[in-house]
Amino acid sequence: MVVSAAGLVVGDCGAQTSGGDHQTGHPSGAAILNTTTPADLLAAFTHAGLAVPNAHDVGPQKCPRIGCVDAVDTDTVSILKFPSTGEAELYAASVPRMFQIEDVVLVFSAAVSPGATQAYEQVAKRTIR
């Protein structure tokens, strides 16, 4: 388990075990683009002073339906991690007010201004590795 700066407990969905077995929704043998989790992004947003109120893990509810491997919702932004860039792109194309980078999609609440959206995007770009 990973505990973010905001106190949210999120499962470590980026880890893989040896022998091709996996603990995530990543297909066995699939290349992992980055190890950044929604909890990592949540912590980075908090550290940057960006609002992420009422953060909660929604992976078990959302991911089976939309194909993500991990998800966190806040009142300002939803952070979704997908098993591949292609799957992230497909999901991103279906939702408004989003930002996609590699296998991560951020979906912004209507209350987030365009300027604030850019701030979240910049933090995400620096954080995803």
CA–CA separation, 58 and 78 (whole Å): 9
CA–CA separation, 29 and 45 (whole Å): 31
pTM equals 0.76
Structural domain boundaries enclosing 11: 2-127
Tens digits of per-residue pLDDT, 46-69? 999 999 999 999 999 999 999 999
CA–CA separation, 111 and 10 (whole Å): 25
The pLDDT value given to residue 65? 96
The pLDDT value given to residue 117? 97
Digitized pLDDT (tens) for each residue of the chain, 129 residues in all? 344 444 444 443 333 223 333 233 444 445 557 899 999 999 999 999 999 999 999 999 999 999 999 999 999 999 999 999 999 999 999 999 999 999 999 999 999 999 999 999 999 999 997
Q: How many domains does the chain have?
A: 1
